Amino acid sequence: MGGAPTDLKLIDERGLRLDGRRPDEMRPLKIEAGVLNKADGSAFVEWGMNKVMAAVYGPRECHPRHLQNTERALVQCHYNMASFSVEDRKRPGPDRRSHEISKILSEALTHVVFTEYFPRTSIDVYIEVLQANAGTRCAGLTAASVALADAGVPMRDLVASVAAGKVANTIVLDLGKEEDNFGQADIPVGYVPRTDEVVLLQMDGDLTREEFDKGLHMAVGACKKVYEVQRDALKRRYSARAEGQEEGA
């Protein structure tokens, strides 16, 4: 968020954005489930210029042990941005931002996983951002949900995620990098369609109550589209598996 260079027009005369999108248009989204052999479940998401891999291990013995919960499983997200994921090399290793994102994504996923089925265990979700262009926490959450389902972890539903925001006094969907840098607000949302619940909501910048409502409404509507892409990835994965089993039979 911040002041744009004076010649940078985030919305042009035709009402279009820097990359030609309409205000309520998402960047192209592709999801592939089951892309890693060694993980219990995995998913790869390409969302605009973001590339994010999610890998799930577990439920398995919880480490460190003092975190074990005798009543339920612990969902532990580990969000990491590769040093080659951004233009200037990112300093490798955890930082405040990655800790924050790991925490909020863990909380969002804990809402949908039936953690009570697996006391004392940990469900580890690794989110590796290979290429970043704003919106990586939403891409990570979207990928992680598919990876959990691919691992066969029992869940109430998938979490779908996308951000809304405000640029050049306009409420827009799915902010790109320049919009994130020079826009006025960013609201990442995680939504569970089946229960109509919001499980992730953050806000950076300034919005009136009316603008906030419009942004949230726009993001929830778009999450329903993200959800369809997630389900489609899982359907393709299961039909490929079923075909493989038939061939093996």
- Which residues lie near ligand ADP (CB under 6 A)? 86, 88, 90, 97, 132-137, 177, 180
Asked if residue 138 lies in contact with residue 162, where contact means CB atoms within 8 angstroms, the answer is yes
Nearer to ligand ADP, 63 or 89 (CB): 89
Q: How far is the CB of 93 from ligand ADP (least distance, A)?
A: 11
Q: Which of 136, 153, 156, 198 is nearest to 59 (CA)?
A: 153
Closer by beta carbon to ligand ADP, 43 or else 153: 43
- The smaller minimum CB distance to ligand ADP, of residues 46 and 180, is found at 180
What is the C-alpha to C-alpha distance for residues 218 and 122, in angstroms, rounded to an integer?
34
Least separation in angstroms between residue 82's CB and ligand ADP is 11
DSSP labels, 73-129:
-EEEEEEEE-TTSSSSPPPPS--HHHHHHHHHHHHHHHTTB-GGGSTTEEEEEEEEE
Q: Report helix, strand or coil for 138.
A: helix
**CB nearer to ligand ADP: pick between 122 and 184:** 184
Query: Minimum distance from CB of 99 to ligand ADP (Å)?
Result: 12
> What gap in Å lies between CA 154 and CA 64, rounded to an integer?
23
Q: C-beta of 123: minimal distance to ligand ADP in Å?
A: 22
